[in-house]
Structure 1
Amino acid sequence: MKVVLISMPDVVPIIIHEMAIHMPNHGIACVGGNIDEGHEVHLIDLVRKRNHIAGYLEKTLKRIDPDLIGLSAMTWQYPTCLALIGLIKSILPRARIAVGGYHATLMSEEMGASPEANSIDFMVRGEGEETFRRLVNALEGADRLVSIPFLSHKQDGRWLHNPPGDLCDLSRLKLPIRDRRRLTSGYHFMNSKIEVMETSRGCTRNCSFCSIRHMYGRSY
């Protein structure tokens, strides 16, 4: 199966952000790195292409012709995500669409109840590595959609939200993608090359303003 994972072009406006730093999206790199071997996986970080998104996506998606496209979005990026889905569907009407990230985790029922969800096939809630890996396998008949924790999917036109499961065991996850499968490049910090690494997940605090506890619970 051919899979493309896309991160949003929106960034938090920070003074001199564009000149000072461009960091790769670690989330989609982790999800892509944990898809089983035998599948063709590509990453697109649209922060690096946001001055010519439509032309770049049309050329790239037509060349790859993916079966499944995953998009990661936070709540403030969701309008952009919907616009991108509309663009993707105009290029590849038969491609299946999965949306993950914090917005899908926190607002899956609201998303499913909205008319915009007609263009979405799956929602990946919580950590994406294991759920998305199993989703790819299920679409090839090697797993069952109804048995995948944290997955929301459609059955007879209605959304089903599978119950959550256990958090990922970080010691068992594969390394994120940092090779040619990452189609965008040019990441830097003050003109020096930069990469992202993750040493832990979660937080033991319970701050009301923070969304991380909804993703990982009060764990660390």
Structure 2
Amino acid sequence: MKILLINPPNTNMILTHLPSYIDEESGIFPPLGLMYLASSLSNKTGINVEILDALLNKISLNNIANKITNYLPDLVGITATSFTLIDALLIAKTVKEVNQNIHVTMGGPHVSIYPNETLLQKDVDSVVIGEGEKTFSDLVNNLNEGKNLEGIPGLAFKNKQGQIINNGYRDFIENLDEIPLPDRNLTPYKEYYSILGEKHPITTIITSRGCPFRCSFCYHFLGKKWRTRSAKNVIEELESCVNIGIREFWFFDETFTIDKKRVLDICDGIISKKLNIKWNIRSRVDTIDKNMMERLKLAGCEKISFGIESALSKTLKVLQKEINPDKSKEIVLLAKSLGFETSTDFMIGSPGETREDILETISFSLKLDPDYATFSITTPFPCTQLYNSLLENKFFDRDYWKDFSISPSKDFIPNLCNEYLSREELAHLQNYAYKKFYLRPKYILKKMLKLKSPIDFLRKAKVSLRMLASREK
């Protein structure tokens, strides 16, 4: 049985509310979820799996059709977020135009929220809901053996009569160490990069799943219960990457620093194995301290990203981000003093925010003076507490994300949730924030002195020039 897993391009990506000079130039990371699915089939005889990263190589639909024609897969799996749904569905259509008998399955956050709505699309045969390794493996087994798909937890599908059958959710995998390590050799792993990266190639890694915090703007695709891989299992993956020449890692755990002992154990493993790697993590300001930072630094961690969100306690309360600005300032300054590169994420245009509030957050970002900052416009995404509460309070008159899932349109624009400022005013303030932060002469000089290579210079210069020329409102 032949399987082709496809990461869609972003040709028809819906509006992200990020300036184009940021959205288009940040870099491309490997499709980690597809790599995990491929590895989940690694011990099955007679199963051949390939991954096609159409995003990395900007592969057109015609070339995707040629790949399908030449490879002749029995099953095509496509990952889809809310942003890439249009492109994912266009790939599904392309598959069926090549051969109607190829089974098309989709997975990812968006289709997990709206599985039945996704199956209304004529070119989609099944949807993997939530965590995919076991469900996808069962799907492959049943298709390969000609068995019925009913009874596979975590799968929704259309039967031969075209009826939608939803088997419900599958329990999350408790022991993450039992999941085979993602197979990077199935991708052109040497080609992935980040504009903020220092070594080449880079890769991503996830050492835990789920998030125990209550932020109202987040969708917990992998659950609210925090599940972890052991330090030994993490080190095994790092070693396997080092063996193929990868020495820079972006840890994509939602919050890496929840369990101090586990963090220290991973650091000690990196140090004792003398892996000589560079790595970046995401943290909250209330789950990290000086002792942890010092050990992270010894182990080669160079950059920490913090979700600061706002300078205002009232906005943090609305977002249910249980931190305070004073703590944010303390931890960011501590990280800088210990030699870490710091990155901070801010949100503007949350419910209740005025223009003056947003300007205060922009001013706060300058006081923190991290190495990098992002400014996103607060957008209510499906299945988040923020979106649900806005629906309940009639801020929106309908579930427009559900409508989009039923009738996807390239012209779809997600709604915003600020009652005082228009979309154009928020976009103008966002553009102002980026220029105010990144076009400071002192900041530019500091970054020029830290340039690592001609490629590094060209990538960052391209973003800077686009920012200068930007007239986005």
User: What's the TM-score, normalizing by structure 1?
Assistant: 0.87
**Worse-matched range after superposition: 141-150 or 201-210:** 141-150
Q: Does 1:202 align with 2:210?
A: yes
Larger Rg: 2
CA–CA distance in structure 1, aligned partners of residues 169 and 25 of structure 2? 40
Map Cα deviations across residues 77-101 of structure 1 (whole Å, 9 max, x no partner): 1122111211222223321100110
**Worse-matched range after superposition: 57-66 or 136-145:** 136-145
CA–CA distance in structure 2, aligned partners of residues 2 and 136 of structure 1? 10
Residue 456 of structure 2: aligned partner: none
The equivalent position to 1:75 in structure 2, one of 65, 78, 82, is 82
Give the AA of the match of 2:192. Answer: Y
Whether the 8 Å CA contact 2:209–2:223 is kept in 1: the answer is: no
For residue 217 of structure 1, report the CA deviation from its aligned partner. 2.7
Whether the 8 Å CA contact 1:45–1:184 is kept in 2: the answer is: no
The equivalent position to 2:129 in structure 1, one of 97, 120, 125, is 125
Whether the 8 Å CA contact 2:118–2:124 is kept in 1: the answer is: no
For residue 150 of structure 1, report the CA deviation from its aligned partner. 0.6
Whether the 8 Å CA contact 2:116–2:156 is kept in 1: the answer is: no
Give the AA of the match of 1:216. Answer: L
Residue 323 of structure 2: aligned partner: none
CA shift in 2, pair 1:167/1:100, >3 Å: same
Whether the 8 Å CA contact 1:30–1:175 is kept in 2: the answer is: yes
CA–CA distance in structure 2, aligned partners of residues 208 and 17 of structure 1? 23
Give me the identity figure in percent.
Answer: 27
CA–CA distance in structure 1, aligned partners of residues 23 and 191 of structure 2? 14
Residue 29 of structure 1: aligned partner: 35
Residue 183 of structure 2: aligned partner: 177
CA shift in 2, pair 1:111/1:22, >3 Å: closer
**Worse-matched range after superposition: 54-63 or 97-106:** 54-63
Whether the 8 Å CA contact 1:69–1:96 is kept in 2: the answer is: yes
Residue 45 of structure 1: aligned partner: 53
For residue 20 of structure 1, report the CA deviation from its aligned partner. 5.1
Whether the 8 Å CA contact 1:135–1:143 is kept in 2: the answer is: no
Please report the RMSD computed on the Cα atoms of aligned residues, expressed in angstroms: 2.2
CA–CA distance in structure 1, aligned partners of residues 141 and 37 of structure 2? 14
**Worse-matched range after superposition: 75-84 or 11-20:** 11-20
CA–CA distance in structure 1, aligned partners of residues 23 and 87 of structure 2? 20
Give the AA of the match of 2:170. Answer: G
For residue 147 of structure 1, report the CA deviation from its aligned partner. 2.0
Whether the 8 Å CA contact 1:125–1:150 is kept in 2: the answer is: yes
Other structure's SS at 1:123 match? strand
Bigger relative CO (Cα 8 Å, ≥ 6 apart)? 1
Other structure's SS at 1:31 match? helix
Residue 159 of structure 1: aligned partner: 164
Map Cα deviations across residues 161-218 of structure 1 (whole Å, 9 max, x no partner): 0021210231110011211x32676112347211111100110023332112xx2332
CA shift in 2, pair 1:192/1:167, >3 Å: same
The equivalent position to 1:105 in structure 2, one of 106, 112, 126, is 112
Residue 59 of structure 1: aligned partner: 66
Residue 149 of structure 1: aligned partner: 153
CA–CA distance in structure 1, aligned partners of residues 225 and 6 of structure 2? 28
For residue 76 of structure 1, report the CA deviation from its aligned partner. 2.3
Other structure's SS at 2:150 match? helix
In structure 2, stretches of 5+ residues that fail to align are 227-473
In structure 1, stretches of 5+ residues that fail to align are none
Map Cα deviations across residues 132-158 of structure 1 (whole Å, 9 max, x no partner): 011000002286522211100122320
User: What's the TM-score, normalizing by structure 2?
Assistant: 0.42
CA–CA distance in structure 2, aligned partners of residues 157 and 76 of structure 1? 27
Residue 3 of structure 1: aligned partner: 3
Whether the 8 Å CA contact 1:48–1:184 is kept in 2: the answer is: no
